[in-house]
Structure 1
Amino acid sequence: MNEHFPHADGLRYLNHAAVAPWPRRSAKAVSAFAAENARLGARDYPQWLRTEQRLRERLARLLGAQGTADIALVKNTSEALSFVAFGLDWRPGDQIVISDEEFPSNRVVWEALRPRGVEVIQVSLKGHDPEADLLAACGSRTRLMAISAVQYASGLRLDLQRLGEGCERQGVLLCIDAIQQLGALPFDVRQNRCAFAMADGHKWMLGPEGLGVFYCRSDLRERLELHEYGWHMLENAGDYDRQEWKPARTARRFECGSPNMLGAVALEASLSLLEEVSIAEVERSLAQRIEQLHQGLSAVPGLRLLSPTEPARRSGILSFSLDGWDNGTLFGRLKDEQIVCAQRGGGIRFSPHFYTPAQVIEDSVAIVRRLARER
């Protein structure tokens, strides 16, 4: 796999939960697109649209959606969450259940509904059965559960099918922030009974920032009030002389204006690689790398793992803290050693991907072990 990822010599990239490097094919695709644009402008725009259509098809398969009609291309996860939050017809007293470990995007957007009388209930995920705790928090006034498939700091992976089935029984809509799972682990909106799901392309999908996906179940599309309007979201987009208009019947109704073609070229190329490898193989290979990290870091004196140890709870994230080290100082030292990682949730977060060389993980563990001896 190294031929697909031309990293700089000595770089130890363990930061896919933040921003991933592009595969070589994506960089080439963007370069070719730029060169073509410089020479020909938009002469071959129909070809660009075919690339965008392939992207929609790949995303539908990755999400397990019924088809591309359920898929909207959005700027980012936060935009898609806002479509849901400010699209549903909230009533005073309605409740939303979230966890107490959510990334701000999946917390602030719901808290912004408080002026409408909507109550946000935060549930701790520290119990022995977080799914049961989340479902137990749903009462007669609960309209929505908004939860991350994988928690961004700890890497805790939730049983989405169990949550989906529980929400369905209680008449609660399930909204999944899938940014830390999509592209790393299998995901299926229908199996998980998702009402809505969203993710950015720049993490585990190995794409650029500025382009993400929004899944909206077909029976819910027209229930979301629209707040963005433009030529692209119309049923008859392209018929510029038509005076009568209505929103598109498909999820394109959430795409108000001109598409991000440059981003589409990059993300389509990245997803083509993931499809060639297969998500099943990505999951297997990533699990091997997380196990290698787990075994290596567990043996470091004074190191405390902050991520789940049970295989069913693991994701592509492993976080830890080190006795005697301030996290900020430790993060700086790791950066000096060419380890690209993140400081999150009271610790250091490592996040390899399926292609990460075993030597990178071995060297990174050795560096952490050496730093542990310094204190």
Structure 2
Amino acid sequence: MPKSDTQQFPHLEHMIHLNHAAVAPWPAVTRDAVRGFADENARLGSSHYPAWLKLEQLLRRQLAELINAPSADDIALVKNTSEALSFVAYGLEWQVGHNIVSSDQEFPSNRIVWESLGQYGVEFREADLNSGASPEEALFAKVDQNTRMITISSIQYASGLRMDLERIGRFCRENGILFCVDAIQSVGAVQFDVQAVKADFVMADGHKWMLGPEGLGFFYCRPELREQLKLTQYGWHMVDPLGNYTYKDWKVAKTARRFECGSPNMIAIHALQASIQLLLETGMDLVERRLLENSRYLCQRIDAMQGVELLTNTDAGRYGGIVSFTAGDKDDEIFQTLQQRNVFCALRGGGIRFSPHFYTPRALLDEALEVVARGL
């Protein structure tokens, strides 16, 4: 493997990390950013706080670039995906009889919050993504005149199925339906364009494919809809003028900062900014190409194995960084062997899930596949 890769991703020297769909290892630049921030804070306290605020604004601009948002003003920094989903679920006005359409493959974050609206008479409908001519058709078949929103994961966390977001976005706009995307398994892995997919709401955590820390993510709300979301929390950070602590005639910020009620998570901001900088400098086109090459290679090798069923759809445009497979009743045994051999992966959705990133060397994929083959 190239020396530059092992310098930037030192874990490559002693483990095979195929679990970016869960929690990613930090690059060296991210580790160094956190060390630098901690050292500065210990020596100088918050005397450089104005510089930290500039870094916070830089992170917003970088996130806007990463998802092609119209402006950095459209980016709110949030604790996690679930918080952002809750902003949408409890910010909109619902009526008894409204329904929300989603799928039967969602991670709990994009299910529980919508199910909780049942107390207000809102129905949550789960489409079987394998029941229609396409996964999108399965979603559309659940829509009726009372459908207010379609909410979907861009890539399904267990099967790795990649949705045709542009098609869903067009359908929603044509039918006056809101479109919400949990993009946690896409952003940082493949190119993502909120404007092209016509998304109204997009959210993602930074700790998976963006290679950042837990506890910090982003929330994009289409500018035309920001003021339609009823706010559920208030504080000093979400008002204008910001920083005037004695001003009594405050107003809620018109930018996405309106969703940030209190102090920012500065240590996580330093970390995520470094990680996003690495992705942008690498180029998301190159990141996506290498990541898809790794996934395609895994799919081809696994599909050729006797006694294994590949669960991930290999059609063009239908997969991202997640490759899932099953060996039936041998899954648990093979998974435990993989862990013992320092192949870090996951059991998800009735199978074993591999999720390498763009930098994962082919030789390490071969080592992981050899462990699987021996287990068979």
Q: TM-score, normalised by structure 2?
A: 0.97
1:276 counterpart (276, 281, 284): 281
Match of 1:133, as an amino acid?
A
C-alpha separation between the residues in 2 aligned to 1:370 and 1:133? 38
Q: Does residue 1:259 correspond to 2:259, yes or no? A: no
C-alpha separation between the residues in 1 aligned to 2:171 and 2:123? 20
Match of 1:84 in 2: 88
Q: Provide, for residues 299-356 of structure 1, a one-character-per-residue CA deviation record: whole Å limited to 9, x for no partner.
A: 222011111011210110000111441x333322210010100110000100000000
Assess if the C-alpha contact under 8 Å between 1:331 and 1:343 holds in 2: yes
Match of 1:332 in 2: 336
Q: Does residue 1:57 correspond to 2:61, yes or no? A: yes
Q: Which runs of no fewer than 5 residues in structure 2 stay unpaired? A: none
C-alpha separation between the residues in 2 aligned to 1:58 and 1:133? 35
2:364 counterpart (357, 360, 363): 360
C-alpha separation between the residues in 2 aligned to 1:38 and 1:200? 28
Assess if the C-alpha contact under 8 Å between 2:6 and 2:12 holds in 1: no
1:293 counterpart (295, 298, 309): 298
Helix, strand or coil for the counterpart of 1:208?
A: coil
C-alpha separation between the residues in 2 aligned to 1:366 and 1:113? 47
Assess if the C-alpha contact under 8 Å between 1:131 and 1:163 holds in 2: yes
Helix, strand or coil for the counterpart of 2:332?
A: helix
* Aligned CA distance change for structure 1 residues 186 and 105 (closer, same or farther; 3 Å): same
C-alpha separation between the residues in 2 aligned to 1:202 and 1:320? 24
C-alpha separation between the residues in 2 aligned to 1:234 and 1:226? 12
Q: Does residue 1:101 correspond to 2:98, yes or no? A: no
Assess if the C-alpha contact under 8 Å between 1:95 and 1:119 holds in 2: yes
Helix, strand or coil for the counterpart of 1:7?
A: helix
C-alpha separation between the residues in 2 aligned to 1:248 and 1:55? 19
Assess if the C-alpha contact under 8 Å between 1:135 and 1:167 holds in 2: no
Q: Does residue 1:69 correspond to 2:73, yes or no? A: yes
Q: Provide, for residues 179-215 of structure 1, a one-character-per-residue CA deviation record: whole Å limited to 9, x for no partner.
A: 0000001111111111000000000000000000000
Instruction: Within 5 Å, give how 1:6-85 maps onto structure 2.
Output: 6-7=10-11, 9-85=13-89
Assess if the C-alpha contact under 8 Å between 2:322 and 2:355 holds in 1: yes
Q: Provide, for residues 117-144 of structure 1, a one-character-per-residue CA deviation record: whole Å limited to 9, x for no partner.
A: 1011110111331112212322111111
Aligned residues: 371
Q: Does residue 1:161 correspond to 2:161, yes or no? A: no
Q: Provide, for residues 57-115 of structure 1, a one-character-per-residue CA deviation record: whole Å limited to 9, x for no partner.
A: 00001111000111100000000000000000001111100101000000000000001
Moved more, 131-140 or 198-207: 131-140
* % identity of equivalent residues: 53
Q: Does residue 1:204 correspond to 2:188, yes or no? A: no
C-alpha separation between the residues in 1 aligned to 2:329 and 2:117? 42
C-alpha separation between the residues in 1 aligned to 2:13 and 2:66? 32
Helix, strand or coil for the counterpart of 1:146?
A: strand
Assess if the C-alpha contact under 8 Å between 1:2 and 1:355 holds in 2: no
Q: Does residue 1:371 correspond to 2:375, yes or no? A: yes
Match of 1:241 in 2: 246
RMSD, aligned α-carbons: 1.0
Q: Which runs of no fewer than 5 residues in structure 1 stay unpaired? A: none
Match of 2:180 in 1: 175
Q: TM-score, normalised by structure 1?
A: 0.97
1:4 Cα deviation after fit = 1.1
Match of 1:199, as an amino acid?
A
- Find runs of 4+ consecutive structure 1 residues off by over 3 angstroms: none
C-alpha separation between the residues in 2 aligned to 1:270 and 1:70? 20
C-alpha separation between the residues in 2 aligned to 1:63 and 1:309? 25
Helix, strand or coil for the counterpart of 1:311?
A: coil
Q: Provide, for residues 238-271 of structure 1, a one-character-per-residue CA deviation record: whole Å limited to 9, x for no partner.
A: 1000112221100000000000000000000001
C-alpha separation between the residues in 2 aligned to 1:166 and 1:238? 42
Match of 1:184 in 2: 189
Assess if the C-alpha contact under 8 Å between 1:202 and 1:208 holds in 2: yes
Match of 1:223 in 2: 228
* Aligned CA distance change for structure 1 residues 128 and 337 (closer, same or farther; 3 Å): farther
Q: Provide, for residues 28-70 of structure 1, a one-character-per-residue CA deviation record: whole Å limited to 9, x for no partner.
A: 0100000000000000101101111110000001111000111
1:193 counterpart (179, 198, 212): 198
1:313 counterpart (287, 309, 318): 318
